[in-house]
Amino acid sequence: MKVFQVEGEWNREHLRMSSRPDPQPGAGEVRVAMRAAALNYRDLLVPQRGYGSRMQALPLIMLSDGVGIVDAVGPGVRTIALGDRVCPLFFQSWPGGPANAERLSRSLGCETDGTMADYRVFPESGVARVPEHLDDFQAATLPTAAVTAWRALLGEGSVCPGDTVLVQGTGGVSLFALQFAKLAGCQVIVTSSSDAKLARARALGADATINYRTLAEWGRRAREIAGGEGVDHIIEVGGENTLGQSLRAIRPGGTISLIGVLSGGRMDAPLGLVVTRHVRLQGVTVGSRDDFLAMSAAIARHGMRPVVDRVFPFDALHEALDYLASGSHFGKVCVRI
């Protein structure tokens, strides 16, 4: 089978298309004929060994998101059948419950091989069926960005109808957060540096938008939109250069879900605001199998469709990564397998 893997050395120059023997499922395992994969920001860091010593020894098959058809099952498999269309789960070690070291120990495309291959073998518990109304590229986007947004808002965040949610940017997690917040009956504010992207966010359901390039003190404007006291929940993907404004936008007792550090990973914010206003600063790293199943049921019930920006052919992974790094995408970047 063909694969796209980092081999030999940790750098982009050693990210190459290669081949491996076709895998066969053992007891309790299923083989998935992969159809599509999707990119996440972490995939830009993986070839540089961006997650340190925790990463699998080389070679390492890239990407954590994908979808495919079960074409072989091992002895003892009970809940997954031949022909099922499934997503491999981001964390192969997190069935449910709160996060802990063991449950966060094995993610695809980092501690274990990822989805950029013709075939992959997983334990029966490591895959889940996808909503029937989604095409392969839409389904491939679910395991990482969608589950992250779901857990941040509906799991850790417990948003309620009438809450105000602020979403930073228009990448994968952010647009899923916009869509899930609207399903939950929330008012949604979206920030971006692009008026064109903000217009598309409004078409997707955003109630208000702020261009942070033309309004640097966007936290104050977000408070005004939310009614003066502040925003109930913020999807924080910027980190170093945006957290200060998020702390100005959030209401007393509100929640900031820290998901990304796109603008830098150092803490440079007035932390007194966290303490004196009883703000909850919550880190979120994807979620569990139970989160995926609950999210998938909601997507199916509401007929929601993920936003796919562009699809690249299998052999153009480098071009897909460059496009992701450019920041010009709106939604998810996918690969055809």
Same domain? For 197 and 150 the reply is yes
Alpha carbon of residue 17 to chain centroid: 24
Cβ-count burial of 98 within 10 angstroms (0-12 exposed, 13-18 middle, 19+ buried)?
exposed
pLDDT of residue 11: 97
Same domain? For 30 and 62 the reply is yes
Crossing angle (nearest 10°) for helices 172-183 and 195-204: 30
Domain assignment of residue 241, yes or no: yes
Q: Cβ contacts of residue 31 below 8 Å, gap of 6+? A: 23, 24, 25, 70, 71, 72, 73, 119, 120, 121
Q: What is the mean pLDDT of residues 312-335?
A: 97
Same domain? For 74 and 168 the reply is no
pLDDT of residue 294: 98
Same domain? For 21 and 118 the reply is yes
Please name which of 290, 288, 241 lies closest in space to residue 261, comparing C-alpha atoms: 241
Please name which of 198, 188, 193 lies closest in space to residue 215, comparing C-alpha atoms: 193
Domains of the chain: total: 2
pLDDT of residue 242: 87
C-alpha 72/C-alpha 33 separation (Å) is: 9
319: CATH: 3.90.180.10
- For 57, 97, 107, 231, 259, the CA distances from 102, given in Å and listed in that order, are 19, 12, 11, 34, 20
Domain assignment of residue 120, yes or no: yes
Confidence tier at 274 by pLDDT (50, 70, 90): confident
Q: What is the mean pLDDT of residues 315-336?
A: 97
Confidence tier at 264 by pLDDT (50, 70, 90): low
199: CATH: 3.40.50.720
Same domain? For 113 and 165 the reply is no
Q: Which domain holds residue 262?
A: 146-283
Domain assignment of residue 209, yes or no: yes
Residue 213 has pLDDT above 90, yes or no: yes
Tokens of 159: 């948003």
Domain assignment of residue 290, yes or no: no
Residue 223 has pLDDT above 90, yes or no: yes
- The pLDDT tens digits for 87-131 are 999 999 999 999 999 999 999 999 999 999 999 999 999 999 999
Task: Name the average pLDDT for the chain.
Answer: 95
Domain assignment of residue 264, yes or no: yes
Residue 164 has pLDDT above 80, yes or no: yes
- Give 180's DSSP letter: H
Q: Cβ contacts of residue 216 below 8 Å, gap of 6+? A: none
pLDDT of residue 266: 63
Q: What is the mean pLDDT of residues 6-24?
A: 98
Residue 311 has pLDDT above 90, yes or no: yes
Q: What is the mean pLDDT of residues 299-328?
A: 97
pLDDT of residue 86: 98
pLDDT of residue 329: 95
Domain assignment of residue 292, yes or no: no
pLDDT of residue 43: 97
Same domain? For 206 and 267 the reply is yes
Same domain? For 220 and 115 the reply is no
pLDDT above 90: percentage of residues in the chain: 91
Q: What is the mean pLDDT of residues 26-44?
A: 97
Same domain? For 134 and 173 the reply is no
The answer to whether 234 and 186 are in contact (CB under 8 A) is: no
pLDDT of residue 228: 79
Same domain? For 85 and 113 the reply is yes
Residue 267 has pLDDT above 90, yes or no: no
Higher pLDDT, 224 or 239: 224
Domain assignment of residue 256, yes or no: yes
pLDDT of residue 262: 56
Same domain? For 225 and 321 the reply is no
Tokens of 7: 């081999």
Same domain? For 132 and 28 the reply is yes
Domain assignment of residue 252, yes or no: yes
Residue 44 has pLDDT above 80, yes or no: yes
The answer to whether 112 and 46 are in contact (CB under 8 A) is: no
Q: What is the mean pLDDT of residues 150-154?
A: 97
Same domain? For 29 and 118 the reply is yes
Residue 263 has pLDDT above 70, yes or no: no
